[in-house]
Structure 1
Protein backbone atom coordinates (compact mmCIF):
# COMPACT_ATOMS: atom_id res chain seq x y z
CA UNK A 1 0.00 0.00 0.00
CA UNK A 2 1.16 3.52 -0.75
CA UNK A 3 -0.07 6.54 1.17
CA UNK A 4 -0.25 10.00 -0.35
CA UNK A 5 -0.51 12.91 2.07
CA UNK A 6 -2.53 15.81 0.71
CA UNK A 7 -1.73 19.04 2.54
CA UNK A 8 -4.33 21.54 3.67
CA UNK A 9 -5.38 23.53 0.63
CA UNK A 10 -8.23 25.31 -1.12
CA UNK A 11 -9.11 24.45 -4.69
CA UNK A 12 -11.11 26.64 -7.03
CA UNK A 13 -13.67 25.11 -9.35
CA UNK A 14 -13.99 25.94 -13.05
CA UNK A 15 -16.43 28.81 -12.68
CA UNK A 16 -14.07 30.73 -10.39
CA UNK A 17 -16.97 31.51 -8.07
CA UNK A 18 -16.68 28.45 -5.88
CA UNK A 19 -13.80 27.12 -3.83
CA UNK A 20 -13.48 24.05 -1.65
CA UNK A 21 -11.38 23.83 1.50
CA UNK A 22 -9.51 20.54 1.85
CA UNK A 23 -8.27 19.50 5.25
CA UNK A 24 -5.02 17.55 5.41
CA UNK A 25 -5.88 14.11 4.03
CA UNK A 26 -4.10 10.77 3.70
CA UNK A 27 -5.09 8.75 0.63
CA UNK A 28 -4.32 5.01 0.79
CA UNK A 29 -3.84 3.28 -2.57
CA UNK A 30 -3.27 -0.34 -3.62
CA UNK A 31 -2.37 -1.70 -7.09
CA UNK A 32 -4.53 -4.82 -6.93
CA UNK A 33 -6.69 -7.18 -8.94
CA UNK A 34 -9.76 -5.43 -7.54
CA UNK A 35 -8.54 -2.01 -8.75
CA UNK A 36 -7.67 -3.43 -12.18
CA UNK A 37 -11.09 -5.06 -12.54
CA UNK A 38 -12.84 -1.74 -11.81
CA UNK A 39 -10.68 -0.06 -14.47
CA UNK A 40 -11.36 -2.82 -17.02
CA UNK A 41 -15.12 -2.57 -16.37
CA UNK A 42 -15.02 1.06 -17.49
CA UNK A 43 -12.54 0.86 -20.38
CA UNK A 44 -13.40 -2.68 -21.52
CA UNK A 45 -9.83 -3.70 -22.33
CA UNK A 46 -7.05 -5.49 -20.49
CA UNK A 47 -5.18 -3.39 -17.96
CA UNK A 48 -2.09 -5.57 -18.34
CA UNK A 49 -1.68 -4.99 -22.07
CA UNK A 50 1.17 -2.92 -23.43
CA UNK A 51 -0.98 -0.15 -24.92
CA UNK A 52 -0.28 3.35 -23.60
CA UNK A 53 -2.94 4.92 -21.40
CA UNK A 54 -4.33 8.42 -21.63
CA UNK A 55 -3.98 10.76 -18.66
CA UNK A 56 -7.72 10.29 -18.06
CA UNK A 57 -7.27 6.51 -17.88
CA UNK A 58 -4.32 6.85 -15.50
CA UNK A 59 -6.26 9.21 -13.22
CA UNK A 60 -9.25 6.87 -13.21
CA UNK A 61 -7.02 3.91 -12.32
CA UNK A 62 -5.57 5.82 -9.38
CA UNK A 63 -9.14 6.44 -8.18
CA UNK A 64 -9.79 2.70 -8.52
CA UNK A 65 -6.74 2.06 -6.32
CA UNK A 66 -8.21 4.04 -3.39
CA UNK A 67 -8.85 1.84 -0.37
CA UNK A 68 -11.15 4.38 1.28
CA UNK A 69 -13.95 6.59 0.01
CA UNK A 70 -12.21 9.66 -1.36
CA UNK A 71 -13.89 12.67 -2.93
CA UNK A 72 -12.89 12.83 -6.62
CA UNK A 73 -11.58 16.40 -6.33
CA UNK A 74 -8.91 15.22 -3.83
CA UNK A 75 -7.05 13.49 -6.68
CA UNK A 76 -6.71 16.82 -8.51
CA UNK A 77 -4.44 18.01 -5.68
CA UNK A 78 -1.83 15.31 -6.35
CA UNK A 79 1.55 16.71 -7.38
CA UNK A 80 3.80 15.35 -10.11
CA UNK A 81 5.94 13.85 -7.32
CA UNK A 82 2.85 12.02 -6.04
CA UNK A 83 2.21 10.62 -9.53
CA UNK A 84 5.88 9.56 -9.78
CA UNK A 85 5.65 7.81 -6.40
CA UNK A 86 2.44 6.03 -7.46
CA UNK A 87 4.04 4.92 -10.74
CA UNK A 88 7.10 3.62 -8.87
CA UNK A 89 4.79 1.75 -6.49
CA UNK A 90 2.86 0.17 -9.38
CA UNK A 91 6.14 -0.91 -11.00
CA UNK A 92 7.59 -2.48 -7.83
CA UNK A 93 7.38 -6.26 -7.39
CA UNK A 94 6.18 -6.31 -3.72
CA UNK A 95 7.62 -9.78 -3.16
CA UNK A 96 10.96 -11.33 -2.28
CA UNK A 97 10.24 -14.40 -4.40
CA UNK A 98 12.27 -14.74 -7.58
CA UNK A 99 12.19 -17.35 -10.32
CA UNK A 100 15.09 -18.79 -12.27
CA UNK A 101 14.27 -19.34 -15.90
CA UNK A 102 15.90 -22.09 -17.90
CA UNK A 103 16.30 -21.62 -21.63
CA UNK A 104 14.43 -19.23 -23.89
CA UNK A 105 11.08 -17.87 -22.71
CA UNK A 106 8.10 -19.87 -23.82
CA UNK A 107 5.35 -18.13 -25.74
CA UNK A 108 2.23 -17.53 -23.70
CA UNK A 109 -0.84 -19.56 -24.57
CA UNK A 110 -3.05 -16.62 -23.64
CA UNK A 111 -2.17 -13.40 -25.36
CA UNK A 112 -4.57 -11.14 -23.46
CA UNK A 113 -4.75 -11.52 -19.71
CA UNK A 114 -7.78 -9.77 -18.26
CA UNK A 115 -8.88 -9.68 -14.65
CA UNK A 116 -11.48 -12.35 -15.42
CA UNK A 117 -8.67 -14.68 -16.51
CA UNK A 118 -6.82 -13.99 -13.25
CA UNK A 119 -10.01 -14.63 -11.23
CA UNK A 120 -10.41 -17.90 -13.17
CA UNK A 121 -6.82 -18.88 -12.33
CA UNK A 122 -7.59 -18.20 -8.65
CA UNK A 123 -10.78 -20.29 -8.76
CA UNK A 124 -9.20 -23.37 -10.35
CA UNK A 125 -6.38 -23.25 -7.77
CA UNK A 126 -8.76 -22.75 -4.84
CA UNK A 127 -7.26 -19.39 -3.90
CA UNK A 128 -9.79 -17.29 -1.94
CA UNK A 129 -11.03 -13.99 -3.37
CA UNK A 130 -9.86 -11.99 -0.38
CA UNK A 131 -6.39 -11.90 -1.99
CA UNK A 132 -7.82 -9.67 -4.75
CA UNK A 133 -6.74 -6.72 -2.60
CA UNK A 134 -3.09 -7.83 -2.53
CA UNK A 135 -0.54 -6.02 -4.72
CA UNK A 136 -1.01 -7.57 -8.17
CA UNK A 137 2.60 -8.72 -8.53
CA UNK A 138 2.35 -10.56 -5.23
CA UNK A 139 -0.85 -12.30 -6.38
CA UNK A 140 0.72 -13.28 -9.71
CA UNK A 141 3.74 -14.63 -7.81
CA UNK A 142 1.43 -16.71 -5.62
CA UNK A 143 -0.20 -18.20 -8.74
CA UNK A 144 3.22 -19.06 -10.20
CA UNK A 145 4.48 -20.55 -6.91
CA UNK A 146 1.31 -22.65 -6.71
CA UNK A 147 1.96 -24.02 -10.20
CA UNK A 148 5.62 -24.78 -9.46
CA UNK A 149 4.91 -26.43 -6.12
CA UNK A 150 1.97 -28.47 -7.42
CA UNK A 151 4.13 -29.82 -10.29
CA UNK A 152 7.08 -30.82 -8.10
CA UNK A 153 8.10 -34.41 -8.80
CA UNK A 154 5.74 -34.82 -11.74
CA UNK A 155 7.16 -36.31 -14.90
CA UNK A 156 8.17 -33.75 -17.51
CA UNK A 157 8.83 -30.93 -15.05
CA UNK A 158 12.56 -31.52 -14.60
CA UNK A 159 15.30 -29.75 -16.55
CA UNK A 160 16.72 -31.26 -19.69
CA UNK A 161 20.41 -32.20 -19.74
CA UNK A 162 21.17 -29.04 -21.73
CA UNK A 163 19.25 -26.85 -19.27
CA UNK A 164 20.96 -28.53 -16.34
CA UNK A 165 24.41 -27.98 -17.86
CA UNK A 166 23.62 -24.31 -18.54
CA UNK A 167 22.34 -23.88 -14.98
CA UNK A 168 25.61 -25.33 -13.59
CA UNK A 169 27.66 -22.96 -15.79
CA UNK A 170 25.59 -19.94 -14.70
CA UNK A 171 25.74 -20.98 -11.05
CA UNK A 172 29.53 -21.43 -11.17
CA UNK A 173 29.91 -17.98 -12.74
CA UNK A 174 27.68 -16.45 -10.06
CA UNK A 175 29.71 -18.09 -7.29
CA UNK A 176 33.02 -16.94 -8.83
CA UNK A 177 31.72 -13.35 -8.91
CA UNK A 178 30.44 -13.64 -5.36
CA UNK A 179 33.74 -15.04 -4.06
CA UNK A 180 35.79 -12.72 -6.31
CA UNK A 181 37.59 -15.75 -7.67
CA UNK A 182 38.86 -16.68 -11.13
CA UNK A 183 38.09 -20.33 -10.79
Structure 2
Protein backbone atom coordinates (compact mmCIF):
# COMPACT_ATOMS: atom_id res chain seq x y z
CA UNK A 1 0.00 0.00 0.00
CA UNK A 2 1.21 3.49 -0.79
CA UNK A 3 0.26 6.92 0.55
CA UNK A 4 -1.85 7.53 -2.58
CA UNK A 5 -3.68 4.23 -2.05
CA UNK A 6 -4.52 5.13 1.54
CA UNK A 7 -5.96 8.50 0.46
CA UNK A 8 -7.88 6.94 -2.45
CA UNK A 9 -9.41 4.23 -0.24
CA UNK A 10 -10.40 6.83 2.37
CA UNK A 11 -12.08 9.00 -0.28
CA UNK A 12 -13.99 6.04 -1.72
CA UNK A 13 -15.23 4.99 1.71
CA UNK A 14 -16.28 8.56 2.54
CA UNK A 15 -18.19 8.76 -0.75
CA UNK A 16 -19.94 5.50 0.15
CA UNK A 17 -20.95 7.03 3.51
CA UNK A 18 -22.54 9.95 1.64
CA UNK A 19 -24.43 7.54 -0.64
CA UNK A 20 -25.66 5.57 2.39
CA UNK A 21 -26.84 8.81 4.02
CA UNK A 22 -28.76 9.77 0.88
CA UNK A 23 -30.37 6.31 0.77
CA UNK A 24 -31.35 6.53 4.45
CA UNK A 25 -32.77 10.03 4.03
CA UNK A 26 -34.82 8.92 1.03
CA UNK A 27 -36.81 6.74 3.43
CA UNK A 28 -37.66 9.68 5.69
CA UNK A 29 -41.19 10.78 5.04
CA UNK A 30 -41.93 14.30 3.89
CA UNK A 31 -45.32 15.85 3.21
CA UNK A 32 -45.53 14.25 -0.23
CA UNK A 33 -45.99 10.65 -1.25
CA UNK A 34 -43.18 8.83 -3.02
CA UNK A 35 -42.68 5.16 -3.76
CA UNK A 36 -39.37 5.18 -1.87
CA UNK A 37 -41.40 5.10 1.36
CA UNK A 38 -42.23 1.47 0.64
CA UNK A 39 -38.72 0.39 -0.45
CA UNK A 40 -37.91 -1.50 2.73
CA UNK A 41 -41.35 -3.12 3.17
CA UNK A 42 -40.96 -6.90 3.06
CA UNK A 43 -43.82 -9.17 1.98
CA UNK A 44 -44.22 -12.86 2.84
CA UNK A 45 -44.12 -14.36 -0.66
CA UNK A 46 -44.66 -18.12 -0.47
CA UNK A 47 -42.79 -18.36 2.83
CA UNK A 48 -39.83 -16.12 2.02
CA UNK A 49 -39.53 -12.39 2.80
CA UNK A 50 -39.47 -10.47 -0.49
CA UNK A 51 -39.22 -6.75 -1.24
CA UNK A 52 -42.59 -5.18 -2.06
CA UNK A 53 -41.26 -3.91 -5.40
CA UNK A 54 -40.64 -7.55 -6.43
CA UNK A 55 -44.28 -8.61 -5.98
CA UNK A 56 -46.15 -5.45 -7.00
CA UNK A 57 -45.98 -2.42 -9.27
CA UNK A 58 -45.65 0.84 -7.29
CA UNK A 59 -46.99 4.08 -8.78
CA UNK A 60 -47.99 7.54 -7.63
CA UNK A 61 -51.71 8.12 -8.07
CA UNK A 62 -51.49 11.74 -6.89
CA UNK A 63 -49.29 13.88 -4.61
CA UNK A 64 -50.52 12.13 -1.47
CA UNK A 65 -51.40 8.60 -2.66
CA UNK A 66 -49.26 5.63 -3.67
CA UNK A 67 -50.82 2.93 -5.82
CA UNK A 68 -49.74 -0.68 -5.32
CA UNK A 69 -50.77 -3.12 -8.07
CA UNK A 70 -49.93 -6.74 -7.07
CA UNK A 71 -48.65 -8.99 -9.84
CA UNK A 72 -50.78 -11.83 -8.43
CA UNK A 73 -54.37 -11.22 -7.31
CA UNK A 74 -54.09 -13.32 -4.15
CA UNK A 75 -51.14 -11.23 -2.88
CA UNK A 76 -53.37 -8.18 -2.21
CA UNK A 77 -54.22 -9.01 1.42
CA UNK A 78 -50.63 -10.04 2.21
CA UNK A 79 -49.25 -6.79 0.76
CA UNK A 80 -51.84 -4.68 2.61
CA UNK A 81 -50.92 -6.43 5.89
CA UNK A 82 -47.17 -5.94 5.27
CA UNK A 83 -47.61 -2.20 4.64
CA UNK A 84 -49.73 -1.83 7.76
CA UNK A 85 -47.18 -3.72 9.91
CA UNK A 86 -44.18 -1.78 8.52
CA UNK A 87 -44.73 0.92 11.18
CA UNK A 88 -44.76 3.76 8.65
CA UNK A 89 -47.99 5.32 9.89
CA UNK A 90 -49.69 4.35 6.62
CA UNK A 91 -53.17 2.82 6.31
CA UNK A 92 -53.61 1.06 2.96
CA UNK A 93 -57.04 0.26 1.52
CA UNK A 94 -57.91 -2.18 -1.25
CA UNK A 95 -60.10 -1.04 -4.14
CA UNK A 96 -60.57 -3.91 -6.56
CA UNK A 97 -57.11 -5.18 -7.49
CA UNK A 98 -55.40 -1.86 -6.63
CA UNK A 99 -54.18 -1.07 -3.12
CA UNK A 100 -54.26 2.66 -2.38
CA UNK A 101 -51.83 3.94 0.26
CA UNK A 102 -52.71 7.50 1.25
CA UNK A 103 -49.95 9.37 3.08
CA UNK A 104 -51.46 11.53 5.78
CA UNK A 105 -50.20 15.10 6.00
CA UNK A 106 -47.54 15.56 8.65
CA UNK A 107 -48.45 17.65 11.66
CA UNK A 108 -45.93 20.03 13.24
CA UNK A 109 -44.93 17.61 16.00
CA UNK A 110 -44.31 14.78 13.52
CA UNK A 111 -42.25 17.09 11.28
CA UNK A 112 -40.02 17.97 14.25
CA UNK A 113 -39.58 14.24 14.99
CA UNK A 114 -38.57 13.72 11.36
CA UNK A 115 -36.01 16.56 11.59
CA UNK A 116 -34.53 14.90 14.69
CA UNK A 117 -34.32 11.63 12.76
CA UNK A 118 -32.60 13.40 9.84
CA UNK A 119 -30.07 15.01 12.20
CA UNK A 120 -29.42 11.66 13.85
CA UNK A 121 -28.74 10.06 10.44
CA UNK A 122 -26.39 12.96 9.64
CA UNK A 123 -24.48 12.50 12.88
CA UNK A 124 -24.09 8.79 12.12
CA UNK A 125 -22.69 9.67 8.69
CA UNK A 126 -20.26 12.19 10.21
CA UNK A 127 -19.08 9.57 12.71
CA UNK A 128 -18.53 7.13 9.84
CA UNK A 129 -16.48 9.73 7.94
CA UNK A 130 -14.38 10.48 11.03
CA UNK A 131 -13.78 6.76 11.59
CA UNK A 132 -12.59 6.48 7.99
CA UNK A 133 -10.22 9.40 8.64
CA UNK A 134 -8.89 7.63 11.73
CA UNK A 135 -8.33 4.39 9.77
CA UNK A 136 -6.57 6.28 6.97
CA UNK A 137 -4.31 8.07 9.47
CA UNK A 138 -3.48 4.75 11.15
CA UNK A 139 -2.52 3.19 7.82
CA UNK A 140 -0.37 6.26 7.04
CA UNK A 141 1.40 5.89 10.40
CA UNK A 142 1.95 2.22 9.64
CA UNK A 143 3.51 3.18 6.30
CA UNK A 144 5.81 5.59 8.14
CA UNK A 145 6.71 2.92 10.70
CA UNK A 146 7.47 0.43 7.91
CA UNK A 147 9.61 3.13 6.28
CA UNK A 148 7.44 3.05 3.13
CA UNK A 149 7.16 6.86 3.24
CA UNK A 150 8.92 9.84 4.78
CA UNK A 151 7.64 11.85 7.73
CA UNK A 152 6.91 14.78 5.41
CA UNK A 153 4.88 12.59 3.05
CA UNK A 154 2.94 11.15 5.96
CA UNK A 155 2.24 14.61 7.39
CA UNK A 156 1.11 15.96 4.01
CA UNK A 157 -1.10 12.92 3.47
CA UNK A 158 -2.69 13.36 6.90
CA UNK A 159 -3.42 17.00 6.05
CA UNK A 160 -5.02 15.92 2.77
CA UNK A 161 -7.10 13.27 4.55
CA UNK A 162 -8.25 15.98 7.00
CA UNK A 163 -9.22 18.23 4.07
CA UNK A 164 -11.17 15.31 2.56
CA UNK A 165 -12.92 14.77 5.88
CA UNK A 166 -13.83 18.46 6.12
CA UNK A 167 -15.15 18.43 2.54
CA UNK A 168 -17.40 15.42 3.21
CA UNK A 169 -18.67 16.81 6.54
CA UNK A 170 -19.67 20.03 4.74
CA UNK A 171 -21.42 17.94 2.07
CA UNK A 172 -23.30 16.01 4.78
CA UNK A 173 -24.39 19.30 6.37
CA UNK A 174 -25.65 20.56 3.00
CA UNK A 175 -27.61 17.34 2.30
CA UNK A 176 -29.17 17.48 5.76
CA UNK A 177 -30.10 21.17 5.46
CA UNK A 178 -31.85 20.43 2.15
CA UNK A 179 -33.73 17.46 3.63
CA UNK A 180 -34.66 19.46 6.74
CA UNK A 181 -36.11 22.21 4.55
CA UNK A 182 -38.03 19.59 2.55
CA UNK A 183 -39.47 18.01 5.72
CA UNK A 184 -40.50 21.34 7.27
CA UNK A 185 -42.16 22.61 4.08
CA UNK A 186 -45.92 22.42 4.52
TM-score range, shorter chain: under 0.3
- Structure having the higher helix fraction is 2
TM-score, normalised with respect to structure 1:
0.21
- Structure having the higher strand fraction is 2
TM-score, normalised with respect to structure 2:
0.21
Higher relative contact order (CA 8 A, sep 6+): 2
